Amino acid sequence: MVVVTDKPSLCRELDGHRLTSTVGLVPTMGNLHAGHLRLVRKAKLLGDVVVVSLYVNPLQFGPDEDFSIYPRNRSRDIRLLEREGIDLVFAPSHEQMYPSGTEQSVTISAGPTGSILCGKSRPGHFDGVATVVAKLFNLVRPSLAVFGEKDWQQLVVIRQMGSQLDMAIDIHSERTERDEDGLALSSRNQYLRRKERARAPRLIATLRRAATRSAKGAEERDQAVAEAREELEVAGFAVEYVEVRNERNLQPAHDSGGPLRVFGAACLGKTRLIDNVPVPGSPLTP
């Protein structure tokens, strides 16, 4: 496995592969867990050469968010990726990714999809995601890239960016990795205190019940969403949203004829949790 930290070295390492191999990319912010490794293994099945990026992108953090304390453990990440047989790790500095600084950087707008759901409470977040992913796409020039389904809105934003900006990259998804009690794996889970961690699985349990009821029709769906919010609030969550939307374009369920998914975001203490679940009858991937 080769580890590079600058853009010229990345390009040199990949130049020899692109003509004869299918290159796959797994963008991450590091602090890898089993969910990330699931993405890596899928990329290995789909591609000949796999690149994993380790980069905590400042553009996707708001001014009062956890950029400075976001978990980082590069040496452990590299050991894990070496065990997985990854070909190339790209672990750049901020100076490499944003040589003019983030304030002077050209950015990509995530469009209307980036301003709803998580984008409403995290303005600019998905612009930052789209910008760094576009930069990684341009640097690696992969044939395919793999993203997780826990961050479903991110997946939709990236698929829209790839399609609308004519990026010839196949975007694949992989299902959410969960602990035994159902909690979706996340680097931020380590912020949870013991009692908060015990309550955290109620998020996915509540969303699953709402999804089952939502399959019965619009009236039942509206009631299920309202009761899901109330249930989470009673359990001690600070609820940002519980909504049912079209899983392909995130349009409201009432305006959609396509497959639906229940989305939820809520905080326990200082830890923000997100999750989603398909309404029965919907496919697992968009």
Task: Answer yes or no: do 153 and 205 share one domain.
Answer: no
137: left (phi over 0), alpha (psi -120 to 50) or beta: alpha
Q: Do residues 28 and 163 share a domain?
A: yes
- In order along its 286 residues, the chain shows pLDDT tens digits of 999 999 999 999 999 888 789 999 999 999 999 999 999 999 999 999 999 999 999 999 999 899 999 999 999 999 999 999 999 999 999 999 999 999 999 999 999 999 999 999 999 999 999 999 999 999 999 999 999 999 999 999 999 999 999 999 999 999 999 999 999 999 999 999 999 999 999 999 999 999 999 999 888 999 999 999 999 999 999 999 999 999 999 999 876 568 999 999 999 999 999 999 999 975 444 3
- Residue 204 has which token pair? 């996915």
Q: Is residue 108 part of a domain?
A: yes
Q: State how far the Cα of 19 lies from the Cα of 17, in Å rounded to an integer.
A: 6
| Domain boundary pick from 109, 144, 174 | 174
User: Tell me, what CATH number does 202's domain have?
Assistant: 3.30.1300.10
Domain membership of residue 238 (yes or no) is: yes
pLDDT of residue 256: 59
Residue 36 domain-assigned (yes or no): yes
Q: Which CATH number fits the domain that encloses residue 127?
A: 3.40.50.620
- Could you tell me if 255 and 169 lie in one domain? no
Q: Do residues 24 and 34 touch, judged by C-beta distance below 8 A?
A: no
Q: How much is the pLDDT for 16?
A: 82
- In 3-state terms the chain splits into helix, strand, coil percentages (rounded to 5) of 45, 20, 35
Q: Which of 33, 36, 125, 172 is catalytic?
A: 36
User: Domain residues for 110?
Assistant: 2-174
The C-alpha R_g of the chain, in whole angstroms, comes to: 19
Q: Are 223 and 216 in contact (CB under 8 A)?
A: no
| 36 catalytic per annotation | yes
Does residue 13 sit within a domain? Answer: yes
Flag whether 283 is in a domain: no
Q: How many residues does the chain have?
A: 286
* Domain count across the chain: 2
What SS3 state is found at 64? coil
